[in-house]
Structure 1
């Protein structure tokens, strides 16, 4: 009779281990899903910033006849806003009638 009780305890131990492994697997999958969603959102924010910069630069050229001389000019006169803690915008002007070189760099956390 003791033989059957020992197997029952071992069976409960296996269920416990299986439950812990399943729980850890679910946690890992959930974490990977959150990371994937975060990466996708950051990529979309960067694309949106690129589009806003291009639109504002083009609009400034159409209205004023010259490209904006700085990124601050776009912020002050054309309402450009972005999350400066996430992105660094390198804005280089070559001349009044030459399209500025704009580079967007994601800042590390």
Structure 2
């Protein structure tokens, strides 16, 4: 009787470890998927924030801001300069500026792979 119990116990342990491994694999896959999506959307979110602050500046002051630094000082925009390069080009104070955000070389977005 003892031998039969040992085989069931061993089979139960193997099955439990296998199920745990599968669940952990699925969990880690989900985490990496979420992190990859969040990092890829970081530059898009920054462009939207800069664009919204520019429009707000235009509504309040009657002109688009002269630079991104102006938005940082007066409208609360925060840019992680180690992760992103921001190119802000305004043609005139009454025309919406061209805003481009590129992940910085060596930043988290540039070489991250799940």
TM band (smaller chain): 0.5 to 0.7
State how many pairs are aligned: 105
User: Does structure 1 residue 101 correspond to structure 2 residue 77?
Assistant: no
Query: Which of 1 and 2 has greater Rg?
Result: 1
Deviation track 1:38-83 (CA, whole Å, cap 9, x = no partner) reads 445556655543332112112223444443222111101222125x
Ranked by relative contact order (alpha carbons within 8 Å, sequence separation 6 or more), the top structure is: 2
The yes-or-no answer on 1:72 pairing with 2:69 is yes
Q: CA RMSD in A?
A: 3.2
> Structure 2 length normalisation: TM-score?
0.63
1:37 Cα deviation from its structure 2 partner: 3.8
Q: Distance in 2 between matches of 1:12 and 1:85?
A: 57
1:32 equivalenced with 2:32 (yes/no):
no
2:66 and 2:90 in contact (8 A); partners too: no
Q: Aligned partners of 1:28, 1:102: CA distance in 2, in Å?
A: 40
Structure 2 gaps, min length 5 = none
TM-score (norm: length of structure 1): 0.65
* Alpha-carbon shift at residue 27 of structure 1 (Å): 1.3
Specify which of 55, 59, 68 is matched with residue 56 of structure 2.
Answer: 59
Over 4 Å off, 4+ runs:
39-48
How big is the shift at 1:18?
0.8
Structure 1: unaligned runs, 5 residues or longer? none
